[in-house]
């Protein structure tokens, strides 16, 4: 049984794939979820289609719980959540997770990995990031906006988990496994730390960042992150980060970033886990991060989110 936490966009993509692969799955939603899920592929995908996977809800928790111990005792437990939701969700569910249940974290931005390892002292843990795209116009609808790729690694891999690894890599394929997932997460952080705050602050699509007036700011953000990465012994150059970032700006030129959308729709952003994480690492390593700090403050100011969780 695949246990997917939350009725969100990436969670629904995972549910759809479980449905296609004939894997048992359960979406653990916060509240009563719809009885069916309508998925529609739009934009970059050649064949648009409608699909109606079976849809489990929080009220259908029982199949994933061990009858006597009231614990989740088999399958992967996947958390495709906003970065700031990961720790509270683990705190909420950890008592129900048997120590051998593999937990998979799928998010943008950075989460305190030491805290996760403490909260789950023995579970195997996968950390992954994906470039698939989706958004939910309604609770029972998923629009698939991009077929991407996934990069994954084990934060903790007890003994051997080829079975769960082979299942996980089929969920948002193609999936590449990395022995050092930190480097991948930092490289993605470098891109997110540029695209997300700048598109949100200036209310522009990703592609507008290719205009010359943003060039110095992008270089400065990358330079701060490169210094941190080098101090953490990650082999990367400013030029590599810059060219990776400009290539993603080019490939996603027509898209609006998730932070742009979050600000537009008064939702909490992931800024604390993106530029906020860069600033916090700068403090720990005594490396100045004035540009990231400035962006953090600017996004905090425009974030009108009233704070519900």
Reported residue count of the chain is 309
Give the start-end residues of each E strand in the chain: 2-5, 25-28, 38-41, 50-51, 77-79, 103-106, 125-130, 133-135, 141-146, 150-156, 175-177
Q: How far is the CB of 136 from ligand NAP (least distance, A)?
A: 6
Q: How far is the CB of 223 from ligand NAP (least distance, A)?
A: 24
User: From residue 118, how far is each of 68, 87, 185, 231, 281 by CA, in Å?
Assistant: 26, 11, 20, 25, 19
SS3 253: coil
Binding mask 23-62 for ligand NAP (x = CB under 6 A): -----xxx--------------------------------
Our finding on whether 85 is near ligand NAP (CB under 6 A) is yes
Q: What is the 3-state secondary structure (H, E, C) of 111-155?
A: CCHHHHHHHCCCCCEEEEEECCEEECCCCCEEEEEECCCEEEEEE
Q: Binding ligand NAP by CB under 6 A: which of 3, 6, 195, 229?
A: 6
Our finding on whether 104 is near ligand NAP (CB under 6 A) is no
Our finding on whether 281 is near ligand NAP (CB under 6 A) is no
Binding mask 108-147 for ligand NAP (x = CB under 6 A): x---------------------x-xxxxx-----------
Our finding on whether 263 is near ligand NAP (CB under 6 A) is no
Nearer to ligand NAP, 238 or 274 (CB): 274
Q: How far is the CB of 132 from ligand NAP (least distance, A)?
A: 6
Our finding on whether 7 is near ligand NAP (CB under 6 A) is yes
User: From residue 152, how far is each of 83, 104, 207 by CA, in Å?
Assistant: 16, 9, 27
Active-site annotation holder among 20, 82, 170, 188: 188
Q: How far is the CB of 93 from ligand NAP (least distance, A)?
A: 7
Our finding on whether 8 is near ligand NAP (CB under 6 A) is yes
Q: Binding ligand NAP by CB under 6 A: which of 39, 81, 110, 195?
A: 81
Our finding on whether 151 is near ligand NAP (CB under 6 A) is no
CA distance 257 to 267: 13
Our finding on whether 269 is near ligand NAP (CB under 6 A) is no
User: From residue 142, how far is each of 49, 71, 133, 205 by CA, in Å?
Assistant: 12, 30, 10, 22
Which residues in the 193-252 window bind ligand NAP by CB under 6 A? none
Is the Cβ–Cβ distance between 221 and 192 less than 8 Å?
Answer: no
Nearer to ligand NAP, 83 or 238 (CB): 83
Our finding on whether 5 is near ligand NAP (CB under 6 A) is yes
CA distance 260 to 188: 17
Q: Which two tokens stand for residue 243?
A: 């060219």
Q: Binding ligand NAP by CB under 6 A: which of 52, 92, 122, 158?
A: 92
Q: Is the peptide bond before 21 cis (omega within 30 degrees of 0)?
A: no
Q: Is 188 a catalytic residue?
A: yes
Q: In what order do the strands lie in the sheet with 38-41?
A: 50-51, 38-41, 141-146, 133-135
Residues designated catalytic: 188
Q: Tell me which residues touch ligand NAP (CB under 6 A).
A: 5-11, 28-30, 80-83, 85, 89, 92, 106-108, 130, 132-136, 258, 270
């Amino acid at each position: 049984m695949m246990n997917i936490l939350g009725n969100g966009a990436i969670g629904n993509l995972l549910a759809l794939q479980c449905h296609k692969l004939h894997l048992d799955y359960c979406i653990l939603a916060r509240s009563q979820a719809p009885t069916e899920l309508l998925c529609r592929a739009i934009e970059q995908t050649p064949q648009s289609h409608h699909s109606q996977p079976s849809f489990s809800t929080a009220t259908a928790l029982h199949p994933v719980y061990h009858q006597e111990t009231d614990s989740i005792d088999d399958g992967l437990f996947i958390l495709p959540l906003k970065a700031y939701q990961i720790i509270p969700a683990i705190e909420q569910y950890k008592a129900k997770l048997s120590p051998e249940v593999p937990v998979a974290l799928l998010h943008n931005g950075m989460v305190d990995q030491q805290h996760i390892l403490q909260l789950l002292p023995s579970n195997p843990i996968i950390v992954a990031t994906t470039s698939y795209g989706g958004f939910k116009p309604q609770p029972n609808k998923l629009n698939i906006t991009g077929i991407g790729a996934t990069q994954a690694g084990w934060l903790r891999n007890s003994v051997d988990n080829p079975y769960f690894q082979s299942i996980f890599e089929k969920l948002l394929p193609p999936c590449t496994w990395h022995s050092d997932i930190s480097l991948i997460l930092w490289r993605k952080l470098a891109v997110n730390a540029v695209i997300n705050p700048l598109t949100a602050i200036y209310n522009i699509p990703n592609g507008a960042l290719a205009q010359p007036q943003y060039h110095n700011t992008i270089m400065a953000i990358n330079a701060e992150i490169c210094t941190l990465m080098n101090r953490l012994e990650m082999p990367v150059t400013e030029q590599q980060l810059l060219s990776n970032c400009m290539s993603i700006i080019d490939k996603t030129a027509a898209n609006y970033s998730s932070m742009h959308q979050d600000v537009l729709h008064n939702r909490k952003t992931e800024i604390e886990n993106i530029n906020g994480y860069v600033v916090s690492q700068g403090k720990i390593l005594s490396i100045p991060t004035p540009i990231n700090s400035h962006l953090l403050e600017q996004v905090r100011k425009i974030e009108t989110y009233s704070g519900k969780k």
